[in-house]
Amino acid sequence: MQKVQEYFGSRVFDDRVMKASLPAGVYKSLHRTIERGTRLDPGVADAVASAMKDWAVSKGATHYTHWFQPLTGVTAEKHDSFISPSPDGGVIMEFSGKELIKGEPDASSFPSGGLRATFEARGYTAWDPTSYAFIKGKTLCIPTAFCSYGGEALDKKTPLLRSMEALNRQALRILKLFGNKDVRCVRTCVGPEQEYFLITREMYDKRPDLRFTGRTLFGKKPPKGQEMDDHYFGVIKPRVAAYMEELNDELWRLGILAKTEHNEVAPAQHELAPIYSTTNIATDHNQLTMEIMQKVAAKHGLVCLLHEKPFDGVNGSGKHNNWSISTDAGVNLLSPGETPYENAQFLLFLCAVIKAVDDYQDLLRITVATAGNDHRLGANEAPPAVVSIFLGDELNAVLEAIETGEPYMGAEKTQMKLGVDVLPKFNRDTTDRNRTSPFAFTGNKFEFRMLGSANSIACCNIMLNSAVAESLKIYADRLEGAEDFETALHEMIRKTIKDHKNIIFNGNGYDDAWIKEATEKRGLLNYRTTADCMPHLLDEKNVTMLTAHGVYSRAELESRCEIMLENYVKTVTIEANTMVSMARRQIAPAVESYTMKLMEGIAQKKALDMGLDSGYETGLVKELSTLTGEIARRADLLEEAVSALSGTVEEQSCAVRDAILGRMEELRKVCDRAETITAKEFWPYPSYGDILFSV
């Protein structure tokens, strides 16, 4: 068997391959672009394209594609083959620098939220040299950005790269003030932990709701769920282990650092975490990971569910975005330092994050808003829709001491001097892990836990990078002009703590009392649904900040708001239609058949004239008949609500929230009740128990 070290990254045109296959000058130029994000010298494109093609062809590739991430949230590709006719009637394999740098997919059917009128349907894709090209099947995939002809970003990668640049710009200003002269670039890193469910294909095929919407719209809770907590970190079943093994193998070949995997809380739920990498690459890799998870599952007769809430009453799936800031020398700026001076720098970056999260709570909430994730946030399994920060006791004590000017008593209870130039030295605290916080400091990184399992991680990192860039800009503007740097620094840290301590909460985020305190006492935002939060993307403060840093134009923001709301409305509409159809065409008829069967039994008992008791059947028949009537009535009501949808997309999203979701729940209630009293052989679908314990 081949060793992992031998095949890891074998399908990636990575630094090793570049070094070996590119002329020295070309390699150096490209490497500089990748390492420091400098502009690519267009002169090198032909040489890179040629080396890329030769490498890909040697690995059996016949096609290439510009691989991009349109606003649908999934990835897109259009394949072209390398072949080009040769004069002797054969073909040669060709790929030019021009084809590498720019592509023109027919993009008219990707959502643009009004950014691109359909008559000018073309968009173009532009090579992102900072993310390595890779081979999938027989296709060379070239990570690209996707823009309209007017230059507006139609994808998630472009704003992500812009936000990384914005943060880089501002962080470098700060580092210079601290005397770090050698740092050439600062970037953010992310390690996303990905949750998912695995069920058998057989079960999946029998559920129209899973097939059409990715989640079950009906189903009573199984007698055994996650009460016993016996699945969490439990032994991995052989079939799942085989799946994970092949998944790892595939991911490793693509240079994806899949590291840990374990069972999650719910039955059939699992998690995969990679080793962290630069945000841009982590984002590409997470998209690829989700795609490959589904592909490998199919090979094993399984289906990988990435929906945030596939089963009601069972834990949903999230994604944890572990995020840090580091320099090109590998120094993590969110790691407490060795000296008080390093700690001062750390505290400033920490404050920048605290301020950013407080000032832009709404933006963070918006980045995780989808119809699917709305089912999780605030339920007793995922952090609430209220954004707050967990710091841990020790760090909290440090901040309190700075705010009040009291001496800080370190963990080992030695008093520390808190002077102007002596910000405290403290130990890093990695032990305290508050799992209920939406945004937790975990020693040297922040973990944003509100993401749904299907979300692209691009969105939250765009906002996080931008908001932190804004804090750093404000700090740099002030500090660069300060007469006495250290006094100004200390004052600024103190002021940030004072102004933003409301966002810090170290208690239990699942507690109802917290939501009350957060909203009533602290004035934190609580946007419960996508319809509630999305329009705030266009609040003036958000537009001002995001345009000032060159991350989004106003038009781009308007388009995104429109697309996200449209997506919300469409998703729920499809679910509602699926429910109506299932209820009318399968559930009601099944209940009816069972009722008939019971009635036949009653009639036969009567015919025997033996005075047999048929109270049981009669009671059931009565309840089932009532339920069938209710099912029909509630299906009609739901259908009416869907037909009544009209107006702007914002109006429709409110109608979804206020009228449709409630009626879906109403319809579900009677159907689930019917399931509990209908004989299993009559029920048209596998039950939750069948599905969750199918693998």
* Nearest to ligand ADP of 297, 457 (CB atom): 457
From 17-25, 51-59, 189-197, 648-656, span contacting Mg ion (CB under 5 A): 189-197
* Nearest to ligand ADP of 109, 260 (CB atom): 260
CA nearest to 471, candidates 421, 542, 545, 539? 545
Contact indicator for 73, 63 with CB cutoff of 8 Å: no
Map tokens 């409301």 to a residue: 502
- Least CB distance to ligand ADP at residue 231 (A): 17
State the residues that interact with ligand ADP by CB under 6 A.
189-191, 193, 273-276, 322-324, 332, 444-445
- Least CB distance to Mg ion at residue 333 (A): 21
Contacts to Mg ion from residues 476-535, by CB under 5 A: none
What is the DSSP pairing of strand 134-136 with strand 123-127? Answer: unpaired
Rounded CA separation 550/561 (Å): 18
- Least CB distance to ligand ADP at residue 427 (A): 17
* Nearest to ligand ADP of 277, 577 (CB atom): 277
Under rule CB under 5 A, residue 270 binds Mg ion: no
Q: Which does 252 bind (CB under 5 to 8 A by kind): ligand ADP, Mg ion, none?
A: none
Q: Which does 283 bind (CB under 5 to 8 A by kind): Mg ion, ligand ADP, none?
A: none
Rounded CA separation 454/256 (Å): 18
- Least CB distance to Mg ion at residue 121 (A): 42
* Nearest to Mg ion of 272, 635 (CB atom): 272
Integer-rounded Cα Rg, in Å, for the chain is 28
- Least CB distance to ligand ADP at residue 170 (A): 19
Cα-based distances in Å from 159 to 30, 156, 454, 549, 590:
22, 6, 19, 11, 51
Q: Write the DSSP assignment of 77-100 as a string of letters.
A: --EEE-EEE-TTSSEEE---HHHH
Rounded CA separation 360/536 (Å): 11
Rounded CA separation 199/294 (Å): 11
Work out the burial of residue 369: count CB atoms within 10 Å of its CB; fewer than 13 is exposed, 13-18 middle, 19 or more buried.
buried
3-class DSSP assignment, residue 610 = coil
From 282-290, 313-321, 357-365, 671-679, span contacting Mg ion (CB under 5 A): 313-321
* Nearest to Mg ion of 193, 470 (CB atom): 193
For residue 569, which phi and psi values (nearest 5 degrees)? Answer: -65, -45
Q: Which does 634 bind (CB under 5 to 8 A by kind): Mg ion, ligand ADP, none?
A: none
- Least CB distance to ligand ADP at residue 187 (A): 11
Q: Which does 162 bind (CB under 5 to 8 A by kind): ligand ADP, Mg ion, none?
A: none
**Cβ-closest position to ligand ADP:** 191
Rounded CA separation 453/270 (Å): 11
* Nearest to ligand ADP of 144, 194 (CB atom): 194
- Least CB distance to ligand ADP at residue 275 (A): 5
Q: Which does 123 bind (CB under 5 to 8 A by kind): ligand ADP, Mg ion, none?
A: none
* Nearest to ligand ADP of 193, 675 (CB atom): 193
Cα-based distances in Å from 425 to 23, 207, 331, 399, 419:
49, 58, 18, 12, 12
Map tokens 């989640």 to a residue: 215
Contact indicator for 642, 577 with CB cutoff of 8 Å: yes
* Nearest to ligand ADP of 319, 634 (CB atom): 319
Q: Which does 332 bind (CB under 5 to 8 A by kind): ligand ADP, Mg ion, none?
A: ligand ADP
- Least CB distance to ligand ADP at residue 119 (A): 44
Helices (H) and strands (E) in the chain, counts: 25, 19
- Least CB distance to ligand ADP at residue 57 (A): 34
- Least CB distance to ligand ADP at residue 325 (A): 9
* Nearest to Mg ion of 253, 376 (CB atom): 376
Residues facing residue 135 across a β-bridge: 140
For residue 419, which phi and psi values (nearest 5 degrees)? Answer: -100, -175
Contacts of 80 (CB under 8 A, 6+ apart): 63, 64, 65, 99
# residues contacting Mg ion (CB under 5 A): 2
**Cβ-closest position to Mg ion:** 320
Contacts to Mg ion from residues 315-334, by CB under 5 A: 320
Q: Which does 578 bind (CB under 5 to 8 A by kind): ligand ADP, Mg ion, none?
A: none
Amino acid at 513: A
Contact indicator for 490, 420 with CB cutoff of 8 Å: yes
Q: Which does 62 bind (CB under 5 to 8 A by kind): Mg ion, ligand ADP, none?
A: none
- Least CB distance to Mg ion at residue 263 (A): 15
Rounded CA separation 485/481 (Å): 9
CA nearest to 294, candidates 280, 282, 307? 307
* Nearest to Mg ion of 439, 527 (CB atom): 439
Q: Which does 273 bind (CB under 5 to 8 A by kind): Mg ion, ligand ADP, none?
A: ligand ADP
CA nearest to 387, candidates 533, 542, 526? 526
- Least CB distance to ligand ADP at residue 475 (A): 22
* Nearest to Mg ion of 128, 264 (CB atom): 264
| Interacting residues toward Mg ion by CB under 5 A | 193, 320
